[in-house]
Chain A
């Protein structure tokens, strides 16, 4: 491959990688920190994208719509975790049944979306979609640059929140030792519920990115199950900077394969990467 093409592929991959990181950051909290097998995460990304689509039809900017939807998704997350905890976590057999539960939830969300919107692809309109930025000899689609910026902001904000604020540190503590946290006088379940709410809240904004970057259809979530889990596992469970790094690695790998071998091989390489990590270093790059 000529070097210019390779550089272009890498730049495109970096942008794509940030986008993947934004898709995965909520899962990094829910699965990485809280050990909730949240298979339905990508389905809620798509739900968020459709929410943004609805608001977009009222003339709202997609990014603004994503931010506006965040509190709603936060509340949804609080409720979902409450239910999950009451039914599964209390009975110590959360593993398989919890997984099956979230699979069921993902299917229900998907079909609800098909019923409401049909199977057609939907997209949003904004001034910055379809234009591109010129940087030296390279052209970058503006929508990818926006995804890049939002992903950086989201990761930065969550990292700061988890390391600087009291609640954020409590979330990290509950991931390390739940009993110890309870002994310190904090209610681990309320902390976890709060954290799960945040994880779901990010789905709204990430969903906005999803529909900004490309058209969305109800079954799209299935594609992202593998990608998001790949990023979270590659990152090392629960590490926010790790999530960004893992997203970048996946994005660059996919993009390079895309330009050298063709689009049809891209998903296999992403998953090959995942298998490699699982086999060689299951703790991930930034494992706790």
Chain B
């Protein structure tokens, strides 16, 4: 709790001390990936169900905000809560899919859901349809130099919340149950682990957090259109970051998101945004080949070797 409060406070202080606006612009994106990767890891890392549709959850969260802004200029907090509710329900549906589908079939089903959501949004002119829609940022709240600085602090809060929830899931009996499901669903079921209820809970929580990651996106960008909101990059990043960091612990997605997210920002600015995709691809291949358990696994292996040498 103290750590969580300190992190948010540090973010708040940062908005006072740093002049450069770009720091917050880029920092927001990295934090948004922390939320997304952490959310993915709850279902993908702990329970072993690989969601390829993270981009859709993110975008549905964002478009829930757009719909609310369009309808009655809803404030940010209302947007986030509504987005979490909608994508949480979506997550529940995905969780119900796991009744019949395992492994790659589950993953393909999530891709299908993503494409269906995208098609619906493209055909829904109220939220801008295929052409996209411009969103006006409200007045900058008192005490902040810019609206994006406020969003940066808010996203820090969401990231802390997401990581806290993931950590709670991991160390509680829920996490043990999910790990049992990942190792052998039949065995878990036969010793009395309530597999379906656990999977539904994990999928709902994971979905809701992804919606939270996407909810402030329209205000942050001031513009949103379906192709970039539903971009495959979100889906792949959400899965690449935990894999890079290590899927076994809540710390893994955070490490992966900060590393890969920062590298992506630097590459986008210094070289080009298409190389961004190359970086994700290369990093993904290198890590799954060379460090199967992610950075955390690598660190553990190194420290064990050191310990044996002494």
Contact = CB atoms under 8 A, between A and B. Distances in A.
Contacts of A225: 111
Interface in A102-156: 103-108, 110-112, 114-115, 119
B109 A96 contact: no
B288 A101 contact: yes
B145 interface: no
Contacts of B48: 96
Contacts of A270: 115
A267 B130 contact: no
Given A105-B285, A264-B119, A264-B122, A111 B278 contact: yes
Interface stretch (B12-20, B100-108, B161-169): B100-108
Contacts of A101: 284-285, 288-289
Interface string B225-245: 000000010001001100100
Nearest to A109: B281
B50 interface: yes
Contact of A104 (B118, B274, B285): B285
A111 B104 contact: no
A226 B120 CA distance: 17
A87 B116 CA distance: 35
Contact of A37 (B101, B104, B118, B282): B104
Which bracket fits the contact residues of B?
35 or more
A110 B282 CA distance: 12
Given A97-B292, A275-B112, A282 B105 contact: yes
A265 B278 CA distance: 31
Interface in B251-265: none
Contact of B119 (A105, A110, A265): A265
Contacts of B274: 111, 114-115, 119
B51 to A, nearest CB: 11
A272 interface: yes
B275 interface: yes
A103 B236 contact: yes
A82 interface: no
Contacts of B243: 96-97, 100
Interface string B278-300: 10111111001100100000000
Nearest to A233: B108
Contact of A107 (B111, B118, B280): B280
Contacts of B236: 103, 107
B80 to A, nearest CB: 27
A85 interface: no
Nearest to B107: A99
B111 A268 contact: no
B137 interface: no
A275 B281 contact: no
Majority secondary structure, A binding face: helix
Contacts of B281: 103-108, 110-111
A267 B104 contact: no
A76 to B, nearest CB: 16
Nearest to A273: B112
A31 B112 CA distance: 18
A108 B122 CA distance: 28
B277 to A, nearest CB: 5
Nearest to B288: A97
A279 B108 CA distance: 12
B111 A267 contact: no
A229 interface: yes
Interface in A43-59: none
B120 to A, nearest CB: 7
A104 to B, nearest CB: 4
A286 interface: no
A226 B277 contact: no
B215 to A, nearest CB: 24
Interface in A172-193: none
A4 interface: no
Interface string B162-197: 000000000000000000000000000000000000
A267 B108 contact: no
A104 B282 CA distance: 6
A93 B280 CA distance: 21
Given A100-B243, A100-B288, A111 B115 contact: no
B275 A265 contact: no
B108 A278 contact: yes
Interface string B88-111: 000000000100110111011101
Nearest to B289: A87
Given A93-B292, A101-B288, A104-B282, A229 B120 contact: no
A275 B109 contact: yes
Contacts of B116: 268, 271-272, 275
A141 to B, nearest CB: 25
Given A96-B44, A106-B281, 8 more contacts: A93-B292, A96-B48, A101-B285, A226-B112, A229-B108, A233-B105, A264-B119, A271-B116
* Top 10 closest pairs, chain A to chain B, by CB: A107-B281, A268-B119, A104-B284, A104-B285, A111-B278, A271-B112, A108-B281, A97-B288, A104-B281, A271-B115
20 contacts: A37-B104, A96-B44, A97-B288, A103-B236, A103-B281, A104-B285, A107-B236, A107-B277, A107-B280, A114-B274, A226-B112, A229-B111, A230-B108, A230-B112, A233-B108, A271-B112, A271-B113, A275-B113, A275-B116, A278-B101
